[in-house]
């Protein structure tokens, strides 16, 4: 671990943050900590100040088990598309910590909030969705600063999760976040550790004045 990942600065938290699956202890999240983390999410910027997010905290183990069964079925759907070599690598990768974490936080996107005159969304409908992702990132960083792990699960069909948590038809589930205390946070992403894919160097994605293709 480098010095920059040890300190409590915003950079320290950004570089310490990890998608967490296998390190949850299952201990409860203190109520005041959960409120702080959710307050950080709710402090995110949003297009037209629409604040189009909703958070459903799921502690109930039956609900979590039902979601996990669905996720495992979707894991198989994905696995079936892989060639033999990729399937072998994928088999070693854990993609969720739904029941091992302390709670799930389901984040929803409500495009009707603040509509129809959402300032800044008239030309780019996705700007609402971008706002929800910023709330999730705030939550993720705040949780990291609190010593909690967060794992984003997206192996699900939106209709299934919408029904499971009772979102109305217009609210789009954007994430199931597994949240809770962790033994530690790995220094490298799981996908790198398992040889699935590596983080690109900054210079591979950085352009000046105009986009230049590298291939």
Ligand X SMILES: Cc1cc2nc3c(=O)[nH]c(=O)nc-3n(C[C@H](O)[C@H](O)[C@H](O)COP(=O)(O)O)c2cc1C
Residues at the site binding ligand X, with contacts judged by CB under 6 A:
18-19, 21, 95-96, 152-155, 189, 191
Residue 5 Cβ vs ligand X, minimum distance, rounded to whole Å:
12
Q: Which residues, 6 or more positions from 99, have their beta carbon under 8 angstroms from its beta carbon?
A: 61, 64, 65, 68
Whichever of 88 and 94 has its CB closer to ligand X, that residue is: 94
Residue 134 Cβ vs ligand X, minimum distance, rounded to whole Å:
12
CA distance 213 to 215: 5
Whichever of 40 and 185 has its CB closer to ligand X, that residue is: 185
Q: Would you give the end-to-end CA distance of the chain in angstroms?
A: 34
Residue 96 Cβ vs ligand X, minimum distance, rounded to whole Å:
6
Whichever of 21 and 113 has its CB closer to ligand X, that residue is: 21
Percentages (nearest 5) of helix, strand, coil residues in the chain: 40, 15, 45
What SS3 class is residue 109? strand
Residue 182 Cβ vs ligand X, minimum distance, rounded to whole Å:
12
Torsion over CA: 109, 112, 113, 117 (sign): positive
Residue 209 Cβ vs ligand X, minimum distance, rounded to whole Å:
29
Tokens of 151: 């794992």
Whichever of 68 and 114 has its CB closer to ligand X, that residue is: 68
Residue nearest to ligand X (CB): 189
Whichever of 46 and 114 has its CB closer to ligand X, that residue is: 46
């Amino acid at each position: 671990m480098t010095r920059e990942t040890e300190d409590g600065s915003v950079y320290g938290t950004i570089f310490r943050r990890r998608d967490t699956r296998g390190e949850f202890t299952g201990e409860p999240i203190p109520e005041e900590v959960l409120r702080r983390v959710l307050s950080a999410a709710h402090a995110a910027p949003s297009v037209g100040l629409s604040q189009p997010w909703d958070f459903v905290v799921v502690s109930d183990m039956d609900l979590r088990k039902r979601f996990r069964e669905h996720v495992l079925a979707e894991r198989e759907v994905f696995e079936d598309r892989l060639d033999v070599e990729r399937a072998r690598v994928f088999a070693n990768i854990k993609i969720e910590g739904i029941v091992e974490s302390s709670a799930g936080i389901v984040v929803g996107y409500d495009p009707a909030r603040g509509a129809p005159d959402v300032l800044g969304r008239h030309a780019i409908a996705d700007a609402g969705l971008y706002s929800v992702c910023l709330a999730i990132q705030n939550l993720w960083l705040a949780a990291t600063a609190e010593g909690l792990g967060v794992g984003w699960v997206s192996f699900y069909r939106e209709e299934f999760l919408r029904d499971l948590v009772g979102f109305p038809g217009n609210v789009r589930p954007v994430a199931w976040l597994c949240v809770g205390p962790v033994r530690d946070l790995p220094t490298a992403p799981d996908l790198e550790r398992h040889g699935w894919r590596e983080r690109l160097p900054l210079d591979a994605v950085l352009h000046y004045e105009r986009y230049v293709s590298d291939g």
